[in-house]
Amino acid sequence: MFEKLAGTRDAYGETLVELGRVNKNIVVLDADLSPSTRTILFAQEFPERFFDVGVAEANLISMAAGLASAGKIAFASTFSVFGVEKGLNQFKQSVAYPNLNVKLVTTHGGISVGEDGSSHFCIEDIAVMRALPNVTVIIPADAAETRAATRAIAEKFGPVYMRLSRPKTPLIYAEGYRFQGEELKFEIGKSITLREGKDVTIIATGVMVAESLLAAQELAKRGIQAEVINFHTIKPLDKEAILRAASSTAAIVTAEEHNVLGGLGGAVAEVLVEENPVPMVRVGINDTYAESGSWRELFAKYGLTSSDIVKAAEKVLERKGR
């Protein structure tokens, strides 16, 4: 189904350069990982607007806050595990609370970091960041969407957390952010329905969007029509799309490369339990630490494949009484 792979972090780095050429207020900071986060591309073209703070993530956030308070659009990047776990207090106190224009864009999210192992995995960042007032949380599905998302967050005033991946992942969208020939517009807080279906709705984010589309193909072979919705924005959450799905299919599966506790699944469940409770199953990492290995092997072991989504859909349909 997916013929091409591309890196979300590569798309981010390239788009930063494009934005930097037209907006001199954009500054970029990194914590000694610019070759990996791909902010090195910005550093090479705009060295006077790039700041490498070294292995000092708390200082990364504090400096970004200072630059934002002086009117700059500050992009700060590092690995997800370092940006969230080592820079959280500074992000909360110096960025989120005063509502400053800082974009914390991290790479190497989830367990697709692979061989780097548990010390570099980050499966709690969605839960942490969506709990902070004023913070927008975004996880693009592929490289094309990353380009669109990077442009959108540069235009939006206020704190943003955006999580990207390490490996090259399937391209869902065509160049120019098109899907099945249709040109799309990236809107923060608005999901995108990629496949219609009347039996069950799969709500996915990040790399799990591709897995969900594969799952929908397999379900169709079994006579089950699955709707697939890409929730690139976790906060603000597209509540209308969730409630519309609850009314139309009355069966929800969520899919995310994150702990099942507190992430996309938790956010969707909060909406459903208050507004329209329907059967729901969460696909994600089942509250455990993962081992080192190739990301595909890890996805298989920890239940993040299209097959796992198929099983979840069949389970939720049993509860629905199909």
CATH, domain range 189-317: 3.40.50.920
Query: What is the C-alpha to C-alpha distance for residues 210 and 141, in angstroms, rounded to an integer?
Result: 8
* 282 strand-pairing partners: 254
Residues above pLDDT 70, as percent of the chain = 100
Q: How far apart are CA 322 and CA 314, in angstroms?
A: 9
Angle between helices 143-155 and 8-22 (to 10 degrees): 40
Annotated catalytic residue 291 = no
What is the structure's pLDDT at 322?
62
**Which residue do the tokens 């992430």 mark?**
263
**280: β partners:** 252
User: Per residue in 21-54, pLDDT tens?
Assistant: 999 999 999 999 999 999 999 999 999 999 999 9
Domain definitions of the chain by residue range: 5-170, 189-317
Same-fold call for 5-170 versus 189-317: yes
For residue 270, what are the CA distances in angstroms to 164, 262, 263?
Answer: 25, 10, 11
Q: Are strands 102-107 and 50-52 parallel, antiparallel or unpaired?
A: unpaired
CA-to-CA distance for 84 and 106, rounded, in angstroms?
9
- Select which of 14, 57, 124, 227 is catalytic: 57
Instruction: Point out the residues of the chain with pLDDT beneath 70.
Output: 322
Structure tokens at 234: 């976790």
Distance, in Å, from the CA atom of 254 to the CA atom of 139, rounded to the nearest integer, reads 14
Print the SS3 string covering the chain. CCCCEEEHHHHHHHHHHHHHHHCCCEEEEECCCHHHHCCHHHHHHCHHHEEECCCCHHHHHHHHHHHHHCCCEEEEEEEHHHHHHCCHHHHHHHHHCCCCCEEEEEECCECCCHHHCHHHCECCHHHHHHCCCCCEEECCCCHHHHHHHHHHHHHCCCCEEEECCCCEEECCCECCCEECCEECCCCCCCCEEEECCCCEEEEECCCHHHHHHHHHHHHHHCCCCEEEEECCEEECCCHHHHHHHHHHCCCEEEEEEEECCCCHHHHHHHHHHHHCCCCEEEEEECCCCCCCCCHHHHHHHCCCCHHHHHHHHHHHHHHHCC
- Of 317, 308, 321, 319, whose CA–CA distance to 224 is shortest? 317
Count of CB atoms situated within 10 Å of the CB of 6: 15
Q: In this predicted structure, what is the pLDDT of residue 321?
A: 85
Q: pLDDT for 50-82, tens place per residue?
A: 999 999 999 999 999 999 999 999 999 999 999
| pTM of structure | 0.97
According to the model, what pLDDT value does residue 3 have? 82
Strands 192-195 and 226-230: antiparallel
Tell me the CATH architecture of domain 5-170.
3-Layer(aba) Sandwich (3.40)
Token reading at 162 = 């955006």
How far apart (Å, rounded) are the C-alpha atoms in residues 120 and 93?
A: 24
pLDDT of residue 1: 80
Rounded to whole angstroms, how far apart are CA atoms 149 and 45? 22
